[in-house]
Structure 1
Amino acid sequence: NFNVQGMKLILLLAAAAAAYPFNNYTAYFDEDSAPASPPFIGGKLPFFPGILKNRSLNIDEDAEAALNRFHKIVGSREKLAKHKSILRSLSKAKGRLLNLVRRPALKSELLSEIANRLKGTVLDRPSVSDINKPISEYLYGGDVMVSPEDLGKMEVEAHAESFRAKRGAPIVTSTRWPKTQPIAFTFNGDIDEATRKLIRTATQKIAANTCLNFKENGAGTQLQFHRGGGCWSYIGKLSQSVQPISIDRGCEIIPIISHEISHALGLDHTQNRFDRDAFVSVNFAAVDSNMQNNFAKRTNAQNNNFGVPYDYGSDMHYGAFDFSNNKQAVLVPSQGDFINTMGQRRSLTFNDYKMINALYSCSANCPAQMTCYNGGYTSPKNCNACVCTDFFTGANCQTARQLIAISETSSYKTVYHTDYNEALYTSGNDYNWDMFNKDAVKIIKAPEGKKIKVTINKLYPAFGQLPCYLSCPFFGLEFVDNSNGDLMTTMGKIYCCTKDEGVTFISKSNILGYKAYASPGMPMDATVTYTVV
């Protein structure tokens, strides 16, 4: 048996120097364009790990100060004493239940596979569960503040597992926001202008991909953004004029902001779905007993996913090590290669937007639903159009964006290259997925009845000077590989380490999806060969 605790997981806490910034870019997709030698700045490579500055680690070191900011918004310690007591009781009740329920066994070979993948891996930033530690006893699911109404229902559940309210995507019974008027939002005075800009962008992205709209200082119940001691939100719309949502230090990137707004809209965490056991196992031995309720699976009666498939890459999915108390993985994917897909914080995904649109019945007023293929669905903005995945386009999502057919006597090679650009690399746009350099998506197809052998020949980011990052936030190769050839909606397995050079796997069908990405300004070279087998 393999003990994952023996795995080295390094948290890089380095002093000032090069950051990870991105802006516009120039990309070249042939090996000949690669520079002959890496650039030097001040006698040092700009990517040398010892001089990295990870500005995202600028979280509040004073736990008491964070706790005080939290109480200033939601109520005093005395006022919330019962709140905390109910959550503790629920944790104990859930813990007893989880110990009684037979859970899928963790396979030692899978743990070993994951541990080998993660040797030497670096965490690029603290998780939301890390940021929220000072206030964790007041939160449910790691970042959910529970309303008084739902707290009463939880008190009943803590004494008897009888809470069975039907809900679509949310963790507790939620009220949807009206579609007939924009969702109003405001800023508390402690939110600086840089963070306000990010929040505005997050609302604009959700509005662009759903039937919902947002308006700063609008009428009606307002989402009020605070620095409230961490990253947290209520679920759904509250029955009060102002609904707080916290974006504190460490939370100021668009994907985390979008995650918290999505909670306010009514979305649950992905790993709590009723069907999660087919995709992940929970290593409860690595979770404190008072935190185990965060992984309590919903029942079919409690959870409606509207036919949206389980997506390891959802912005609403925890990372593998969230809530770990012993450096072991808590969420263990059924296939170890998805370890880097879980917990991605680059953007809301196709399925995240699809879930919001389903929850709010965004196309319900259309006279007829479009016939959309390959996972597409009727647009929330245009009843006569489909929303398609990255791999497909056309009126009905039937046209592959780029189809590469290979035969038994041929092979195909993808080559991805981006140049180093100091100005872009130091521009400060960390984690800005819109500015990432992305290779054109490709569908690789072998003859019917055959499969595809994939070989990563080269994966060389930043001239080999960067370590591996958990969840591959800055660069990676993604392969969507499903047994039925389904390239519809879910994210695939991701590789982003130089040590992955030489990795080979056989596809599950004759169809494979490919994507590649790198932060603008960051050099990267990758070569992958596809052969029919």
Structure 2
Amino acid sequence: MGVIEHEIGHALGLWHEQSRPDALGYVTIERDFILPSYISDFLQRDDEIDTLGIPYDLGSVMHYGSTAFSVDQKSKTVVTRDSLYQQTIGQREKLSFYDVATINTAYCKDECKTEKTKCEYGGYMRPSKCSECLCPDGLGGERCEKNEEPRKAECGGVISLTDEWTTVESPNYPDPGYEADQKCSWLLKSPKGKRVEIEFIEDFSFLCTSTCVDFVELKISDDLRNTGFRFCCYDKPEISFVSQTDTAIVIFRSQLSADIGFKIQIRSTDAEARTTIAPTIITTTSESTVLGYRNPYFSVAPITVDTPNVWADWGEWSQCSRTCGGGRRQEFGTCNLKACPVDKHCAKLLSNNRLCNGKVCTKNDISISSCDAPQCCPPFQNVDGMCQSDQDAQHDELWLSI
């Protein structure tokens, strides 16, 4: 349905989100990986797009995904500046709240001009019926004052927090786990002047896709209208998050599969806002030196690395994602930055997957790809899947785990 809405959005005048004049503040476009005939879909249209004052939305149905029109269908063409949004971009479930708001602003902005209906948390009056509110995703009620009604599950609610930890989990966590086509949301409220702290605990497992289809979403910014961070796959977020205000929203959504899901602990806190992971800073000198090694082939300026496409040797296979038949195991790669400085030509696939056994828990057929051997930058050579050199600096390795 989202693909249809995407195309209807074009008919109504919506551009691709990454073409907005302010797009480069939120994403980086890797032009070298884009099929040449589709470059125009990634260009910013400074003189053609009127944003109507609507903020940039990484969860827009008009936004391209990570590998859209990639030359090898693996390398990222769109990289989010905040790495926690990387698996949010490209969703095709439905129009986002801001997608609908853009259309209503363009075509119906004066419909409720004289009405007095008050909607909370950034909701607004429905142009076709001004006595009703259109609510941000995760919110519901007559005035957007509570959580959205659950879908095919008994879950969700409004939780008033204290300094003591309390827990929230997806339906039937951890066993037998969530089912396909479920949705829950929780509106978390701390006392005025405090914030909401969220920490993932215990097992974590969702259907793993480059754009999350089954996920848990955290809306912890000061704008609850916008799409939040969406987490899926098998790696539990290891940091705790602290909202920017005294209110946060947690959304669980499963569209396709069944799996373990998530569990979080939540509480009120006085801590400073903590909404994203600090990027890794890799600094090089102006003397053609890369991480301590004088390299005649590169003159590299200081680089900030957040979610680069740099991969090399494979690690060990992970444990199976679940105990019933059909779990998945993963292996991840890292990149030797001395062998290959942060270079787009070293792009490789994110992970390798395989079924733990011959049985499956769902009917979903996921296309699984493997990673090619690394492309090594001179003077290094590919030796059994690793970039190696005979020079003295070879032993001084630095690895960046993506």
Moved more, 378-387 or 341-350: 378-387
Q: Give the length in aligned residue pairs.
A: 259
Give the Cα–Cα distance (whole angstroms) in 2 for the partners of residues 413 and 453 of structure 1.
9
CA pair 328-371 structure 1, distance change in 2 beyond 3 A = same
CA pair 267-479 structure 1, distance change in 2 beyond 3 A = same
Match of 1:414 among 168, 190, 205: 168
Displacement after TM superposition at 1:502 (Å): 4.5
Give the Cα–Cα distance (whole angstroms) in 1 for the partners of residues 30 and 127 of structure 2.
39
CA RMSD of aligned residues (A): 3.1
Helix, strand or coil at the partner of 2:171? strand
Give the Cα–Cα distance (whole angstroms) in 1 for the partners of residues 69 and 257 of structure 2.
34
Displacement after TM superposition at 1:449 (Å): 4.4
Give the Cα–Cα distance (whole angstroms) in 1 for the partners of residues 191 and 87 of structure 2.
27
CA pair 268-354 structure 1, distance change in 2 beyond 3 A = same
Matched residue type, 2:85? F
Give the Cα–Cα distance (whole angstroms) in 1 for the partners of residues 141 and 95 of structure 2.
23
Give the Cα–Cα distance (whole angstroms) in 2 for the partners of residues 404 and 445 of structure 1.
9
**Which stretches in structure 2 are left out of the alignment for 5+ residues?**
149-156, 272-402
> Are 2:138 and 2:185, in contact at CA under 8 Å, matched by a contact in 1?
no
Give per-residue Cα distances to partners, 1:177-198, cap 9 Å, x unaligned: xxxxxxxxxxxxxxxxxxxxxx
Give the Cα–Cα distance (whole angstroms) in 2 for the partners of residues 460 and 365 of structure 1.
44
TM-score where L is the length of structure 2: 0.57
Displacement after TM superposition at 1:382 (Å): 0.8
Corresponding residue for 1:481?
A: 220
Moved more, 450-459 or 347-356: 450-459
Matched, 1:445 2:190: yes
Displacement after TM superposition at 1:457 (Å): 2.8
With CA pairs under 8 Å and 6+ residues apart, which has the higher RCO, 1 or 2? 1
Displacement after TM superposition at 1:321 (Å): 1.0
> Are 1:286 and 1:325, in contact at CA under 8 Å, matched by a contact in 2?
yes
Give per-residue Cα distances to partners, 1:245-271, cap 9 Å, x unaligned: xxxxxxxxx111111122112211111
**Higher helix fraction (1 or 2):** 1
Give per-residue Cα distances to partners, 1:442-462, cap 9 Å, x unaligned: 32536624451422432234x
CA pair 290-258 structure 1, distance change in 2 beyond 3 A = closer
Match of 1:332 among 57, 79, 83: 79
CA pair 346-393 structure 1, distance change in 2 beyond 3 A = closer
Corresponding residue for 1:96?
A: none
Give the Cα–Cα distance (whole angstroms) in 2 for the partners of residues 436 and 346 of structure 1.
11
**Which stretches in structure 1 are left out of the alignment for 5+ residues?**
1-253, 426-434
Give the Cα–Cα distance (whole angstroms) in 2 for the partners of residues 443 and 450 of structure 1.
10
Matched, 1:307 2:53: yes
Helix, strand or coil at the partner of 1:457? coil
Matched, 1:472 2:212: yes
CA pair 454-445 structure 1, distance change in 2 beyond 3 A = farther
Matched residue type, 2:59? G
> Are 1:458 and 1:528, in contact at CA under 8 Å, matched by a contact in 2?
no
Give per-residue Cα distances to partners, 1:295-318, cap 9 Å, x unaligned: 11121x422222222111111110
Match of 1:383 among 130, 135, 150: 130
Give the Cα–Cα distance (whole angstroms) in 2 for the partners of residues 419 and 394 of structure 1.
26
CA pair 398-501 structure 1, distance change in 2 beyond 3 A = closer
Give the Cα–Cα distance (whole angstroms) in 1 for the partners of residues 161 and 128 of structure 2.
38
Displacement after TM superposition at 1:335 (Å): 0.8
Give the Cα–Cα distance (whole angstroms) in 2 for the partners of residues 452 and 316 of structure 1.
31
Q: Percent identity?
A: 25
Give the Cα–Cα distance (whole angstroms) in 2 for the partners of residues 521 and 294 of structure 1.
32
> Are 1:269 and 1:318, in contact at CA under 8 Å, matched by a contact in 2?
yes
Give the Cα–Cα distance (whole angstroms) in 2 for the partners of residues 405 and 382 of structure 1.
31
Give the Cα–Cα distance (whole angstroms) in 1 for the partners of residues 137 and 237 of structure 2.
26
TM-score where L is the length of structure 1: 0.44
Match of 1:527 among 246, 250, 263: 263
Helix, strand or coil at the partner of 1:417? coil
Corresponding residue for 1:190?
A: none
Helix, strand or coil at the partner of 1:479? strand
Helix, strand or coil at the partner of 2:75? coil
Matched, 1:272 2:27: no
Helix, strand or coil at the partner of 2:63? coil
Matched, 1:404 2:144: no
